Structure 1
Amino acid sequence: MGRPRAFDEDEVVRAAVTLFAGRAYDSVSVDDLVHHLGVHRNSLYKVFGSKRGLYLAALRHHLEHQLAPLIARGAVEPGPGIDLLLLAMAERAPADAEVAALVDHALHDLDDALGGPSATATLLGLRLRARATP
């Protein structure tokens, strides 16, 4: 029988959302995850399998629990609430088919909510510009 988990998986996933949304996948090392999330490396690998596994859990959580409610309320704005989607779209989707599928689904939901791809592109462009401007 294994030892009980010493951390709350949902809490770790939520913290990973914040970390990946702020710094992007390639800028976050496993050491960063261990340090910022307070999870031992072995525990991280046992529960999530890899950095990518944790990233996918964080992206799914973000899309389902943060972005979807904003879309449902018609409250999507070019603020930090779309950062992980924005970074996933630009950084990971071109290199990872699973991320691309998740992003594509979210973009279609945004298109439907905002009135089409042009409105979605404007929203994402405004957020990208805000992130790039000091």
Structure 2
Amino acid sequence: MIYNLTGQTLEFYPSENEVRQLGAPSAAATYSAWRAESSNDASAVFDGTATLDSVSTVVSSTTAGYSATNRRLITLSSTTGVVPRRSYVIANVSGQREIVTPYEVGASVIYVENDLTYDYPTSSTFNGLEHNFTVDATFIATAGN
């Protein structure tokens, strides 16, 4: 964080293990910030609720994944809001899921950085994982912080 520069945003993602076990978050995370020398029993300097990436779409028209000719190609019902180099979770009805990172986004298809491990038939879900929040303006403008 840069002192006295308001409007700074931080982004974070749930852990890969959490996503594999629980899937995409259904709500934005809450956050709190404490002074470095404070215990967790102290009052937070600032806190709030982050904004969760709103991407929520499904695989359409063809199976993506292990059985596909191109294991990095995913056809989606919508690519609106999908951003290259951001992490997403794709999940099938069997509960198999993995985190993917698109490197190219087209009108209805994306290409991801790594081969998909599982098959994702039509109606498999594709959801955003990124949480972000704006650093409190009073906090960032205080020299002692």
Would you say same fold, with TM above 0.5?
no
Larger helix proportion, structure 1 or 2?
1
Larger strand proportion, structure 1 or 2?
2
Larger Rg: 2
Normalising TM by the smaller chain, what interval? under 0.3
